[in-house]
Structures are given as C-alpha cells and as structure tokens.
C-alpha cells in the first residue's frame, strides 16, 4: 500500500471515528428534545426502532406542565436579578480598586515601590474591614431568634419553602 493510500485510509478512519463519537454525544440530546414534544403515553413506544426519533403528534404540554409545577420562571428571574446586582455592585467596586492601584503607583511586572506596597496593604486590610463592619451593621437589624431558626429548619425539612417561594 502506498503512502498516499495509507494517508487517505487513515483520514477516512479518523472521520468515521469522529462522526461516530459525535453521534454518541448528539443522539441522546436529540432524543431528549424529541421526547419532550411527545405525550407521556408515547414516550417509550418503539424504543427498539428508529421510530423513537419521530414525533407523530408534537405537543408542548410537557413544557406547560413543567412551568406550572416548578419554579423555573421565578428561578430564572432570581438569577437575572442576582447577576444584575453583581454587575451593578461589582463593576464600580472593581473600578475603584483599579483606580486605587493606579493612585498608589502600581505597575505590572516590576518591583513595587514602598508607597505602592503600603497602598496594597491598605487595600487588603482596611477596606475589607470597612465592608465587614457595614455587613455586621446591616445584619444587626435582622433579629433571628432560636424559635424563628427552628421554624425555618422545620419548613425546610417539610419542603414548604418550595411552595412559598
């Protein structure tokens, strides 16, 4: 067998392997999406044939039921709010840290001056202390008693927190 033929055969086998591997990963995802469009009674019909990948009566009822039974929409909204708050708080705080480093004369990849090192020490010690004090002050307003704590634990154990949130 010539060198060119070996190379073509090697590439062909490589493509067959890659396509097989892609199918192994993609087919379960395709089946999952197709199954989500099937009525529950039709989910496990014809599992031994290619017919399992076809939908005769597509329906969005499974999605409607999932949205009505779970907190997907509320959880998504909570995530969006959380990310928004992180951006609203994180960007200004990180910008202030950058400005403080510039103020103290920080330069990347060089030996820092004494003034710069003192500024970095201040940023690592005093600023987190101020944030901790602010957190403690805000938490003092939240009066969590042993009785309230026990009620929260009881609700969590019962699963009632899922219904009320």
Per-residue pLDDT tens digits for 15-29: 999 999 999 999 899
Upper half-sphere CA count for residue 80 (Cβ side, 13 Å): 6
Q: pTM, whole model, 2 decimals? A: 0.43
Residue-wise pLDDT tens digits, 39-91: 877 777 777 777 777 887 888 888 888 888 778 788 889 999 999 999 999 99
State the DSSP H helix or E strand holding residue 133, giving kind and residue range, or none if neither.
Answer: helix 114-140
């Amino acid at each position: 067998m010539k060198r060119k033929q070996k190379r073509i055969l090697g590439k062909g086998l490589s493509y067959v392997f890659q396509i097989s591997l892609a199918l192994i990963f993609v087919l379960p995802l395709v089946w999952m999406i197709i199954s989500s469009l099937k009525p529950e009674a039709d989910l496990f019909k014809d599992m031994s044939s290619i017919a399992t990948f076809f939908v005769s009566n597509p329906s969005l009822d499974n999605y409607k039921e999932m949205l009505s039974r779970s907190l997907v929409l509320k959880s998504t909204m909570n995530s969006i709010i959380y990310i928004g708050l992180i951006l609203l708080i994180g960007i200004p705080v990180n910008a202030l840290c950058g400005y403080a480093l510039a103020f103290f004369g920080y330069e990347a990849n060089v030996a820092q001056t004494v003034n710069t090192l003192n500024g970095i020490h201040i940023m690592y010690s005093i600023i987190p202390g101020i944030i901790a004090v602010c957190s403690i002050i805000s938490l003092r307003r939240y009066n969590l008693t042993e009785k309230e704590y026990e009620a929260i634990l009881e609700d969590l154990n019962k699963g009632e927190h899922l219904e009320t949130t």
